[in-house]
Each structure stands twice: as C-alpha cells, then as structure tokens.
Amino acid sequence: MVKSDVASCDLSEKRECTTTEKTVLLQDVGPRDGLQNESVVLSPPERVQLIGALEDAGVQRIQIGSFVNPRLVPQMAETDSVWRSLRKRGSTRYSVLVLNRRGLEQALSIGLPHVEIYVSASETHSKRNSGVTVARAIEDAIGMIEFAHAAGATVTAGVMCAFGCFFEGEVPVEQVGEIVEELNQPLPTEIGLADTTGMARPEAIRALIDRLSPVIIGPDRLTIHLHDTRGLALANLEAALQLGVRRFDTSVGGLGGCPFIPGAAGNIATEATVEFLHARGFSTGIDPEAVKAAKRFLDLHLGRRFEPASTRNVP
C-alpha cells in the first residue's frame, strides 16, 4: 500500500481534521456529466454561459466537459472550444474527464490544468464505457497519471461503479480497494469514488471509506461522486461527512446519468447539497439562490423543468 503525506489526519478520525472540518468543497459536474445524457445538445457558447453562471454562484471547481468520441457523446463535442472561450478565473479549478491516452493528450495540449481519469470496477461497464477490460483500464490509467504529472497537470484518479453495477450487481469492497491501491501508486492529487449507478447506501459508503482509510490519508485526497437513482444521495453524503470526507461532486439541477447505463438517474443536485450543508453549519462558499439561477438557464435551453428528488425536501 502507498500512503500520502498530503494531510495529517485519517479519514475515520473526523475530530482531528480541524483545518477542513467545517468546510466542504463541491465540484459541479453539470457541464459534463449533467449534459452528456441530454437529448438537447448545447452549443459551446451556451456551455460557457452555464460555467460562468456557476462561477458567479461561487462554485470553485467545475468539470467543464470531457474528451471522448463526439460520435458517441455529441453533447461533449468541442470541449476544446469551451475551454478556450472561458474567462479563466484564478479562483476556479477547471477539469475535464478523459478515458484514454488520446483524450488526455488533447486536454494537455490546450493547457487544461486538471484531468480526471476513471476506471470502472465492473467488467461489463468498462467494456461498454471505454471498450477495454478492467485490468487493461487500470494499466492504461497508471500510465496516463504519470504522463499527466510529467506535463504539470494535477489528477483525480477514480473508480466508476464503486458501489454497484447495473449489469453485475454488488461490487465487493475489497475489489474496489485493490483498484484504488493500484491507482494510488503514482500518487494522484485525489482519489475519486463514483456511485455511477446510484446503488450506494450509507452502510456501503462507510464500509468502503473504512477499507480505504489506511491508503488515502486525509480529507483532501478523497472525493465522492453521488447519483440519486434511489433517492439516497443526501443520506450517502451525510454518511461520508461523518467519516471526514469534505469533497463531493454535484450537478446543477440534479442533471446527469451515464449514456451506457440504462436507468442511471441524475447526480445529487448542487443547490440541494449546498442548502443541506449550510443547514448543518458547513461552509461551501456557494450561493444556493445563484445556483438556482444557473438551473433556470438550463430549464430554458434544454426545454424542460428539472425537479430532482433530492431538492424537493431537504432535511
């Protein structure tokens, strides 16, 4: 196992994480994960407007798109144009998802400062999503992390379907743990766990974090990506908070879903998450009303009104 000295507290020892105990950092993945499953394709200028609205709301981390095959995911075409058109605010961390070396090289060639490299814990999903086996995906990802580091980029390395697979069912905790250990060897900036299918439950969140605690030291090295397929996203977030996790992916309006997983629902909504956290005394730096303005922009341009389950009754 490889341990990092990035932070000085263990994920399971929340009380010792004083520097980040009441601050939660959210990344809005709406411009990528949120849009990739929509039938309406927003133009690059419209995507730039959405990103600007999120920045105006105080969102400091934004996943602006992905470098994937535009024939398979037309919603992500011209991500390079989106990047070039942004105002590049110094307070914002911009990132993109890349699934292979070609996508990584595209991202690095135009100066993207942060890339996200995910592999799936499910053989079926891995083959449908990226066309390779899990073993091959891990091998490729390690090389990509090293390549990105050499180019001066920071990296989130993560595991999709970390809490279950639509095709294969439950994914064993130990299986995910072994993948994380391999991805952690080149020491990416962050490790991500994605509930791609929305199958997670609080007990599964706790079990996996407990398994990874000896490997990933500190709340600054773990981020969790939640979907709300079963209406448990906020409960899962709270379980992770209780164990010291302070970084999460959310999506404006609760948009999202994987084109290669039937029935995968949207991400946990940014505006609901902010209100949930603020009600519990956490700080996010995000104005929930301004995020709702970004949501209205989407309502207009996508031609429908979004009411994700997790925004209806914020406990």
* 22-46 pLDDT, tens digit each: 999 999 999 999 998 888 999 999 9
Q: What percent of the chain clears pLDDT 90, i.e. is strictly above it?
A: 73
- Nearest-angstrom CA–CA distance, 300 and 298: 5
Residue 17 is predicted with a pLDDT of: 37
Residue 18 is predicted with a pLDDT of: 38
CB-based contact 289:28 (threshold 8 Å): no
CB-based contact 5:228 (threshold 8 Å): no
Residue 168 is predicted with a pLDDT of: 87
Give CA separation, 44 vs 78, 163, 233, 305, in Å. 7, 33, 30, 21
- 118 DSSP β-pair partners: 158
- Nearest-angstrom CA–CA distance, 35 and 73: 10
CATH numeric code, 25-305:
3.20.20.70
258 is catalytic: yes
* 76-116 pLDDT, tens digit each: 999 999 999 999 999 999 999 998 999 999 999 999 999 99
Catalytic residue among 9, 161, 165, 258: 258
Residue that wins the pLDDT comparison between 5 and 270: 270
Least confident of 11-20, 124-133, 201-210: 11-20
| Average pLDDT estimate for 126-135 | 90
* 263-280 pLDDT, tens digit each: 556 899 999 999 999 999
Q: Which distant-in-sequence residues (6+ apart) come within 8 Å of 266 by Cβ?
A: 34, 37, 227, 228, 251, 253, 254, 255, 256, 257, 306, 308
CB-based contact 250:28 (threshold 8 Å): yes
pTM of the predicted model, to two decimals? 0.88
Mean pLDDT (the chain) is 88
Say if residue 48's pLDDT is above 90: yes
| Tokens linked to 25 | 């950092």
* 140-193 pLDDT, tens digit each: 999 999 999 999 999 999 999 999 988 888 999 999 999 999 999 999 999 999
* 218-246 pLDDT, tens digit each: 778 999 999 988 889 999 999 999 999 99
Dihedral sign for Cα atoms in the order 255, 259, 264, 268: negative
- Nearest-angstrom CA–CA distance, 170 and 129: 18
Dihedral sign for Cα atoms in the order 239, 244, 248, 252: positive
